Amino acid sequence: MPVFPVTHFQWQVLRAVKRNRKPPTGKELRLSPTRGTKDGTFLTVLVQLGLLERLTGTEKDPFTATYTITERGKHAAEYGECDFPDEVLAAVTSTVKQRVKT
């Protein structure tokens, strides 16, 4: 499995989830109100990568859902990198390519 770094923003979100005692909502994880975070796709990508797990809510409304960190996410929050299986990377890159086309 290839080891890839996580982005600085992903690392910040993972650290925020790891520090919380109770599962935070997506709204609490929007650390910077920028154009790239206003639709919540960053949360969907973190779930698809296996770094976060959605406890409640759906993908359609990511800001009301609650999230918890996975073992892979804990490793990425600590070291800034983690191993991703090939099928996970293929799924995420195809999702990103579809969003770029629309």
User: According to the model, what pLDDT value does residue 99 have?
Assistant: 59
Rounded Cα gap, residues 66 and 28, in angstroms: 9
What's the average model confidence in pLDDT over 10-31? 94
- How many folded domains does the chain comprise? 1
Instruction: Return the sign of the alpha-carbon dihedral for residues 33, 39, 43, 46.
Output: negative
CATH number for the domain spanning 96: value is 1.10.10.10
Do the Cβ atoms of 17 and 52 come closer than 8 Å?
A: yes
Integer angstrom CA distances of residue 31 from 13, 38, 40, 97, 102: 7, 11, 11, 25, 26
User: According to the model, what pLDDT value does residue 93 have?
Assistant: 67
**Which residues form the domain of 43?**
3-101
pTM: 0.81
Q: By three-state DSSP, how is residue 14 classified?
A: helix
pLDDT surpassing 80 at residue 29: yes
Encode pLDDT of 40-65 as tens digits: 999 999 998 899 999 999 889 999 99
Q: Kindly tell me the burial class for residue 25, based on how many C-beta atoms sit within 10 Å of its own C-beta (0-12, 13-18, 19 or more).
A: middle
